[in-house]
Amino acid sequence: MAHNVIAVYPGTFDPMTLGHEDVVRRATQLFDRVIVAVAAGHHKKAMFTLQERIEMARVVAQPYPQVEVESFSGLLRDFVVARGGKAMVRGLRAVTDFDYEFQLAGMNRSLMPEVETVFLTPSDKYQFISSTFVREIAMLGGEVDKFVSPAVQQKLVEKVRSLGRE
């Protein structure tokens, strides 16, 4: 049994949902260290700044001492290899995620054959949650407390207010 196995859980986390949190929790049961890698987000227009997304992820990760939160830009492969990652964790919600994730895992395997992609499914009650839905509901003034932690909900309320959309 390998010891001190490092897993990287990459994402935009804009914002971090209870589904993401559940995947982090599950990953801590499998790996010695989990690095939540917050993508600088070159291709997606983020609601939250990189710093805000890192801060939210750190609050969510607080109960798990073996979890670190870092940002990355550029190729994920370079980040994973530099950190000594042996696994990449990806959350799968539904069959709709699978096709994209399967292709991504194949690409990542050719870029970093020494790193395994591990798919974790969140608890049933979080399967339908996506950051996109959470952002849209918040922007329209809806309740998001069932989808995000209290700290993230607070940040969402502040962000929507600052954007003048209440």
Which residues are catalytic, by number?
Answer: 20, 44, 93, 131
Phi, psi of 141 (to 5 degrees): 80, 15
Asked whether the beta carbons of 104 and 26 are under 8 A apart, the reply is no
Distance of CA 159 to the CA centre of its chain: 19
Report the candidate in 161, 165, 157, 150 with the shortest Cα–Cα distance to residue 62: 150
Residue tagged 């996109």 (tokens): 132
Residue type, 100: Y
Residue 138 host element (H or E): helix 131-139
How big is the chain by its Cα radius of gyration, in Å?
Answer: 16
Helices and strands (DSSP H and E) totals, the chain:
6, 5
